[in-house]
Chains A and B, each alone.
Chain A
Amino acid sequence: MRHLLTTESLDRATIEGLLDEADGFADVLVRPIPKVPALRGKTVAMMFFEPSTRTRLSFEKAAKSLSADTMTFSPSTSSLSKGESLKDTVLTVRAMGVDLMVVRHKATGAPWRIADWLDIPVVNGGDGAHQHPTQALLDCLTIRQRFDSLEGLNIAIVGDIRNSRVARSNIFAMTTLGANVMLVGPPTLLPIDPENWPVTVHHHIDEVLDRADVVYLLRVQTERGGGSGFPSASEYTQRFGMTAERFRRLKDEAIVMHPGPMNRGVEIGNDVADNERALILQQVSNGVASRMAVLFRLLEGQHDI
C-alpha cells in the first residue's frame, strides 16, 4: 500500500490487517502515556482545502500519538486566495520537507491528482461526495469490536447516500468484509444506479428494522444540496429517522452508528443518541486509532512502489 485513497480497491486481508493494527493502537491510546515514538522525525501535513474540524483533529491526534510532527494548511489563510494553483501549493509544502499528506478537497479525485504529482504517500481525508476511507476503517473497527466480525451482518445505511462519501467508502469496506449492506433513503437521495452496487435498496426505514444488526445513520447534508431531496426535516424523520419508538423495535443486540455531526431530532432521536447501543463516541475514539494504523503503515519501513 503506497497511498490510501479509496476503500474500493482494498482487499479483505489488507482491511483486516489495518483493523488489527488499529486495535493495537487503541490500546496505546489508553496507556498512562498514550504515545509511542514510532514516527519520530516524520512530518505529516494536513492539507484541508475544504473545512473540517473533527477529521483534521483526529488525524492530528493520530500523528502526534505516533510522535510525528504535524503541519496544517487551511485555504482561507493561504496563497490559494492569491491565485496559486493546487499543484504549486502542494509542491511548495512538499518542498518544505513533508513525509505524508492528508488531503481533503471538495472536488472528487483531487487526492489522486495530488498523489500523482508527489513522491510521498497521500491519504484521502474526504474528496467531495466520493470517498473517505479512514471513516470506513473506523466504522468497521467499531462494528468488529462489538460483533467480532462483519461476516453475515446486516448493515442498514440510512439517509443521504447520494451525497455521502462516508456511505460510498463504507459500502465497499463492509461488503469486502462479508456484510450485507442495505441502503435506505428516498429515491432522490439514493445513487442513480444502485443496481450496479453490491447492496439492496429500501425506501422506508421500517423495512429493515427487524433484521438490521447495525443501523448507520447519515447526516442530512444541506451544504451538498441534500436538503432539496425531501420536503422537510419532519417528513424525513417520519420515514427515515431513528426515533425512540423505532429503536425499541430493533434486535436486542443491534447497534446505532453515526459519523457526526448529528442533527438530533432529525435523523437520530435525542434519547437514541445517548443510548449505550449508540456507539457514536466509540467511533470517534476509534478514528484516532484507525488513522494511527494508516499513518504507521504508510510511513514505516521500505515500501514496494
Chain B
Amino acid sequence: MRQVMTAEDLGRVTRRIAHEIVERNHGTSQIVVVGIPTRGRPFADRIAAALSDIEGSTVIAGSLDIGMYRDDLDTRPRTRIGPTTLPEAIDGKTVVIVDDVLFTGRTIRAALDALADLGRPGAVQLAVVIDRGHRQLPIRADFVGKNIPTAITDRVSVRFLETDDEEGVWIASDESE
C-alpha cells in the first residue's frame, strides 16, 4: 500500500477545485453540489465549505444515491438504497457531481440517470479527487484533484476522517495478478 496524497494534499486540492468551480461558473449562485455516497459525500461537504469561504455565501452539499441506477445489480452481491437529499431544486441549475475516484465511468453514468429523474439541470459538471483512467464510457471529469496512472487491477483508496479513521490517498497493487 503506497500513499500518493496526504491529508494536507487533499486540503490543497479541495481549495483549488473550489476556486476552479467559481472561476468556471462565474460565482456560486447557480451551483448545486451533490456528493455520491460513500466518499463523494465528505469531499462534497468540503468543496461546499470552500465555496462558501471563497464567495461569502453559504453553499450546502447534497447526496445523490446511485445504487438503484447501477448497470451491474444482477452481479453485485448486495446493493443497499441510501439517502438522496438535494439542498434545493436542480432545474436550470449547474449541478456539480462530486466523487472520490473516477475509474470506469459507470458510476457517473448511473449518477446522470439518477439526476435526470430528479429534475432538469441546466448543466452538469464532475469533480473527483482522483482520475485513475481505464474509462469504459465516454465520460470525463471537469475538475480533477490528481491524475494517477494505474494498472486495472490496482485498488485506489481515498479516505476521509468522516468515513475512515485516517485521511489521504493510497494505492494497493494486487500482487496475486
Secondary structure of the A side of the interface?
loop
B75 and A301 form a contact (CB under 8 A) = yes
A271 to chain B, nearest CB (A): 36
Size class of the A contact interface (CB-based, 8 Å): 10 to 19
Give chain B nearest CB distance to A68 CB in angstroms: 12
Q: Which chain A residues border B68 with CB–CB below 8 Å? A: 28, 36-38, 66
A187-202 near B? 1/0 per residue, CB < 8 Å? 0000000000000000
Is B73 a contact partner of A301 (Cβ separation < 8 A)? yes
Enumerate B38-79 residues with CB–CB distance to A below 8 Å.
65, 67-69, 73-79
Task: Contacts A27-B83, A37-B68, A37-B113 given; indicate if A32 touches B119 (C-beta within 8 A).
Answer: yes
Chain B residues closer than 8 Å to A36, beta-carbon distance: 68-69, 117
Complex contact B117–A24 (CB within 8 A)? no
Q: Count the B residues whose beta carbon is within 8 Å of the partner chain — how many?
A: 20
State in angstroms the CA–CA spacing of A20 and B78 once bound together. 14
- Cβ of B84 within 8 Å of any chain A Cβ, yes or no, is yes
> In the complex, are the beta carbons of A27 and B78 less than 8 A apart?
no
Contact flags (1/0) for A11-39 with B, using CB distance below 8 Å? 00000000011001101100111011110
CB pair A21–B117 under 8 Å, yes or no, is no
Does chain A have a CB within 8 A of B80?
yes
A69 smallest CB distance to B (angstroms) = 16
Instruction: Decide if B161 is an interface residue (CB 8 Å cutoff).
Output: no
- A300-B73 contact, Cβ under 8 Å, with A24-B81, A28-B81, A38-B68: yes
Q: Are B84 and A38 in contact (CB under 8 A)?
A: no
For window 100-137 of chain B, which residues contact chain A by CB distance below 8 Å?
113, 117-119
Q: Quick check: is A302 within 8 A (CB to CB) of the other chain?
A: yes
Contact between A301 and B76, CB atoms less than 8 A apart = yes
Query: Does B87 reach chain A (CB closer than 8 Å)?
Result: no
User: Is the Cβ of B74 less than 8 Å from the Cβ of A300?
Assistant: yes
Q: How far is the CA of A37 from the CA of B119 in the complex (A)?
A: 16
B117 touches A301 (CB 8 A): no
Complex: chain A residue closest to B84, CB-CB: A27
> Are B83 and A301 in contact, CB atoms less than 8 angstroms apart?
no
Q: What is the CA–CA distance of A37 and B75 in the complex, to the nearest angstrom? A: 15
Best-buried of B80, B84, B113 by chain A (most CB within 10 Å): B80
When each residue 36-70 of chain A gets 1 if its CB lies under 8 Å from chain B and 0 otherwise, what string results? 11100000000000000000000000000010000
In the complex, B149 has a CB within 8 A of chain A: no
Residues of A within 8 A of B119 (CB): 32
Q: Which of A31, A35, A66, A300 is B76 in contact with, Cβ under 8 Å? A: A300
Q: Which residue of B lies closest to A38 (CB)?
A: B68
Given A27-B84, A28-B68, A35-B117 contact (CB < 8 Å): yes
B81 near A25 with CB under 8 A, answer yes
* Contact between A21 and B81, CB atoms less than 8 A apart: yes
Which residues of chain B have C-beta atoms less than 8 A from A300's C-beta? 73-74, 76, 78-79
CB-based contact B118/A32 at 8 Å: yes
Interface residues of B in 15-58 (CB under 8 A from A): none
Report the Cα distance A66→B73, complex, angstroms.
12
- Docked complex Cα distance between A33 and B68 (Å): 13
Please measure, in the bound complex, the distance between the C-alpha atom of A3 and the C-alpha atom of B105, giving whole angstroms: 34
User: Which B residues lie within 8 Å of A38 (CB)?
Assistant: 67-69, 73, 79
| Bound-complex Cα distance A272 to B168 (A) | 57
- A36-B117, A38-B79 are known; give 4 further A-B pairs, CB within 8 A: A38-B68, A301-B76, A301-B79, A302-B74
Q: Which residues of B contact A (CB under 8 A)?
A: 65, 67-69, 73-84, 113, 117-119
Could you list which residues of chain A lie within 8 angstroms of chain B, going by C-beta atoms?
20-21, 24-25, 27-28, 31-33, 35-38, 66, 296, 300-302
Q: List 29 A-B contacts (CB under 8 A).
A: A24-B80, A24-B82, A25-B81, A27-B83, A28-B68, A28-B81, A31-B84, A31-B117, A32-B117, A32-B119, A33-B118, A36-B68, A36-B117, A37-B68, A37-B113, A38-B67, A38-B69, A38-B79, A66-B68, A300-B73, A300-B74, A300-B78, A301-B74, A301-B75, A301-B76, A301-B78, A301-B79, A302-B75, A302-B77
